[in-house]
Amino acid sequence: MSTHNHSIFRPRVLTALALAAIILLGAFLRFYQLGATGVGNEYYAATVKSMLTSWHNFFFVAFEPGGSVTVDKPPLGFWLEALSAYFLGVTGFALALPNALAGTLAIPLLYSMLRKQFGVLAGLSAALVLASTPVTIAAERNNTIDGMLVFVLLLAAWAVWRSVESGQFRYLLLGAFIVGLGFNIKMLQAYMVLPALYALYFFGAKHGWGRRILHLGAATVLLLIVSFSWALIVDAVPADSRPFIGSSTDNTVSELIVGHNGIKRLLGGSGPGGGADDRPLANNPQPDDGGKGAGPALGFAPPRQNRQPGQPPMQPGGPNQANRPGGSNEVGEAGLLRLFSEPLASEASWLMPLALLGLGLTLAVLGRPLPLTGKHLALILWAGWLLPVILYFSFTTGLWHTYYLIMIGPALAALVGATVWALDVIASRRSWAAWQSSLEKDNPVKVGIASAEEPRLAMTQSYGWGLAALLSGITLGFEIFVLSAYPTYFAATSALMIALWLAGMALLWFRPQTWALGLVLVSLLVAPLFWSGLTSFNPQPNVSLPHAGPAMQGQPAKSAAGELLSPTQQKVLDYLLANTAPDAYLAATLDSHGASPFILATGRAVLTFGGFNGGDNVIDLAGLQEMLASGELRFILDNGNLSQKAEIFAWVQTSCQVAQVPGLAQNAQPLSQGPGGPRDQQFTALYDCGN
């Protein structure tokens, strides 16, 4: 092999090895003991189990096997989870597998895009950041559907970029089609990237302005057709031939899109459809909509959380969560600093200062904005993705949850990669004049500099070193500030970060080469990577509302399988199984919190009067009486909240008898904790309405 070929071959091998190591790291963080803590979010898990009972339930995404009500999301994400569960069983691993796989595949996809835009170093840096962003780990280890959504949107960004790069219109249509698929995973959340995609094509396409507008118009038509196809089909089916549309006010998917999953996300507030955030926290310890919690099954009260030294700040589920517009202990107060303070800073914002400050630096390195180069267009794409998402999550007073910040992941990682490229340009042995000349000629910058350029080179290197020190130093200081809220981890982690940073900066001063800059980046990745590790190794994750970091003080313990009923629930279930026909409803209860455990344990139909959180009008008293008269239903379970349906509650009180469940006293005071942990605390009444 010649020396020339060898010099080309080595970097490619090293690059491939580095990328493989990053992908393996990302896969490990996502797949380590995946599903070991149970089925994850019980509301979603029960939906998947119900979908596997019939094609009718599969298509309509019915929450319970009887097909009375749907989950409050579109079908695509759950179709993929159901496909996984069909082959692997309804287990925690099978349900989380599509998310974990999507998160892992996103790493090489982002690398390939950044490598074309800013080179190998930027691609590897972006891949490493995405692989270790804590909130992505938390969300993608769960059966919430956000990981699949983000991967689909990244695919759409690749398709539009390919269209701009190649000049082929069909790739723009492919991108629109993929975003439409994203809409059928989580509705309007998929549209958050549209400004970036439209701007990329509008400013970057190799066509005249009129044709660009025409192309975007055609792509928009396709986008809307794909996005609303399922919704229009469902709404066209007569209401008595399909399930009630969960969390809607008028039993249509169209209203669900505009209302609960639309306006409510922007402005908040409650409505008849009822999301989990619509009732007081005392009765709803795990508020959610998109990450539905098991909630107060059988009236179980949440344990009190007491923060201990070294434990993370209070997270959702504590009794002191604020019920105020735009603020809660889960997402903090709406405002400019929301993402830069706890509880959100440790989720996704570790490298945010580097990305935002680096955006300006990258623009400065690129020089004049016109004509637009491929790197300018890349900044339009990634900044157009990141900045609107940051603004939304910073200032919205609507309904959202911590793990939604996974939307930031790809764009944040990409801008960090671009920043590393810019720092490498001005901190390595290259003169600014030579770099500017290379931009004009579109030729690689030569490392060798004539002796006449040496004074300018020294000045440029000093200037570049100062910029690297400034940007990385600010980011390092911010990360230390975030860690200061966690005394257990603060000293050792901060010391390691500072030591690596000082070593990297010293090497960058004396030997301004790429690997020295890489060491500086590694020092900034210590904290988020450590936090991601704590997330993956957390033995008691919050499966209802995923969040990054260590286990919370007071987090309810789960069994090894995570699927066992509490002792109280098991006694009730044994009684119901002995006194109901296999093809009848097992019982009826107010909401999904009380129904999910029984659906998961048996695969039997469990009617919910009020859908997810009790606010829906799935069935009225007349419909209930008809079911009881036909023998389709016999038992009604009251977890202490049936009074929310006043008419049904009054009739049950006067027309049904309290069933005597062996070994269980009715209207008991809180019981001592059994194997089911804090969930097994209180049981109200099981009514027999079949006599």
Whether 323 is in a domain gets the answer no
Residue 33 pLDDT > 50: yes
523 and 651 belong to one structural domain: no
- pLDDT band at 396; cut points 50, 70, 90: very high
pLDDT digits (tens, 9 = 90+) for 163-176: 999 999 999 999 99
- Number of separate domains in the chain: 3
* Domain endpoint, select from 415, 435, 452: 415
532 and 679 belong to one structural domain: no
pLDDT at residue 551, rounded to an integer: 80
**Cα–Cα distance, 198 to 62 (Å, whole number):** 35
Whether 146 is in a domain gets the answer yes
**Cα–Cα distance, 408 to 153 (Å, whole number):** 12
Structural domain boundaries enclosing 621: 567-688
Residue 321 pLDDT > 90: no
**Cα–Cα distance, 290 to 77 (Å, whole number):** 12
Whether 190 is in a domain gets the answer yes
At residue 576, φ and ψ (nearest 5 deg) are -65, -40
End-to-end CA distance of the chain: 89
pTM: 0.86
Mean pLDDT of the chain: 84
Q: Which of 78-82, 325-329, 539-543, 572-576 has the lowest mean pLDDT?
A: 325-329
68 and 114 belong to one structural domain: yes
**Cα–Cα distance, 95 to 139 (Å, whole number):** 12
Length of the chain measured in residues: 691
User: Peptide bond preceding 550: is omega within 30 degrees of 0, i.e. cis?
Assistant: no
236 and 100 belong to one structural domain: yes
> Which residues are 23's β-sheet partners?
none
pLDDT at residue 157, rounded to an integer: 98
Report whether 469 contacts 504 (CB < 8 A): no
Residue 387 pLDDT > 90: yes
* Domain endpoint, select from 415, 436, 457: 415
One-character DSSP codes across 307-352: --TTSPPP-TT-TT---BTTB-TTT--SSTTGGGSTTTHHHH-TTH
Whether 328 is in a domain gets the answer no
Whether 246 is in a domain gets the answer no
* Domain endpoint, select from 415, 445, 479: 415
425 and 353 belong to one structural domain: no
404 and 432 belong to one structural domain: no
pLDDT digits (tens, 9 = 90+) for 567-596: 888 999 999 999 999 999 999 999 999 999
112 and 47 belong to one structural domain: yes
> Which residues are 636's β-sheet partners?
588, 687
**Cα–Cα distance, 228 to 233 (Å, whole number):** 9
Diameter of the chain measured on Cα atoms: 102
66 and 212 belong to one structural domain: yes
425 and 411 belong to one structural domain: no
347 and 429 belong to one structural domain: no
State the residue for tokens 């496909």.
83
Whether 613 is in a domain gets the answer yes
Whether 297 is in a domain gets the answer no
**Cα–Cα distance, 498 to 475 (Å, whole number):** 11
Interacting residues of 207 by C-beta distance below 8 A, sequence separation 6+? 167, 215
pLDDT digits (tens, 9 = 90+) for 560-575: 445 668 888 899 999 9
355 and 436 belong to one structural domain: no
| Structure tokens belonging to residue 165 | 């790069």
pLDDT at residue 314, rounded to an integer: 41
One-character DSSP codes across 464-517: HHHHHHHHHHHHHHHHHHHHTT-HHHHHHHHHHHHHHHHHHHHHHHHS--HHHH
**Cα–Cα distance, 483 to 474 (Å, whole number):** 14
pLDDT digits (tens, 9 = 90+) for 519-571: 999 999 999 999 999 999 999 899 989 999 998 765 554 444 456 688 888 99
374 and 463 belong to one structural domain: no
Whether 455 is in a domain gets the answer yes
